[in-house]
Amino acid sequence: MCTGVYPGSFDPITNGHIDIIERSAKLFDKLIVAVLNNHDKKSLFTTEERIMMIREATAHIPNIEVEYFCGLLMEFARLKQARVIIRGLRAVSDFEYELQMALMNKKLAEDIETVFIMTNCHYSYLSSSIVKEVASLKGCVKELVPPNVATRLRDKFAD
Ligand code: PNS
């Protein structure tokens, strides 16, 4: 049984994330989408809301589990007996942060590998932050996020 973990804040999940999930689910028996439950970080959506949106948007993928984690990602990966962490890479600007995280995670857990998947070029400009900004200014995010997320963003920013 080969398990992969795709961690992130997912505040909220975007079509860029969905693309990475669909592609990486094919590489593992089970893919766990691990949502960071970080009380310090100011999120637009609660952890429960983020998990629910991901579950709805990935219902068509059979080998997916969506869970939250607190604390160290490597502890969570060990608990789940996962040997691979998946991260998406968009532009060169992502690289420095991702390298630092991957090296620190390697230091913490020698036996767990971080594997990078290049973003689909259609989504290389996309991030949760930019989606939130557009939605907050009443811009259209229909093509950027799954329909259930677009609805929740509209509700969140409704006057
Ligand atoms: O979507 P994000 O915000 O880029 O995801 C970042 C995330 C959640 C993968 C990262 O912040 C993380 O793994 N946090 C858990 C704490 C941890 O393990 N830190 C040590 C490694 S840097």
Give per-residue pLDDT as tens, 94-123: 999 999 999 999 999 999 999 999 999 999
| Residue 25 confidence (pLDDT) | 98
- In this structure, the residue with its CA closest to atom 22 of ligand 1 is 101
Other beta carbons less than 10 A from residue 144's beta carbon = 22
- In this structure, the residue with its CA closest to atom 16 of ligand 1 is 72
Is the pLDDT at 41 greater than 80, yes or no?
Answer: no
Testing ligand 1's pocket by substitution, the residue of 5, 6, 9, 76 carrying the most ligand atoms inside 8 A of its CB is 9
Is the pLDDT at 54 greater than 80, yes or no?
Answer: yes
Mean predicted confidence (pLDDT) in 46-67: 97
- Exposure string for 39-49, b = 16+ CB within 10 A, e = fewer: eeeebbbebeb
Compute the C-alpha angle 45/18/78, nearest 5°. Answer: 80
Q: Order of strands, edge to edge, in the sheet holding 64-69?
A: 64-69, 30-36, 3-8, 84-89, 113-118
Q: pLDDT digits over 4-30, tens only?
A: 999 999 999 999 999 999 999 999 999
Residue 93: pLDDT band (50, 70, 90) is confident
Q: How far is the CA of 158 from the centre of ligand 1 (A)?
A: 30
Secondary structure letter of residue 120 according to DSSP: P
> What is the distance between the alpha carbons of residues 23 and 26, in angstroms, rounded to a whole number?
6
Query: In the structure encoding, which two tokens stand for residue 4, read together?
Result: 């992969």
User: Could you give the residue numbers annotated as active site?
Assistant: 17, 41, 90, 128
Question: What domains does the chain contain, in order, with CATH numbers?
Answer: 3-156 (3.40.50.620)
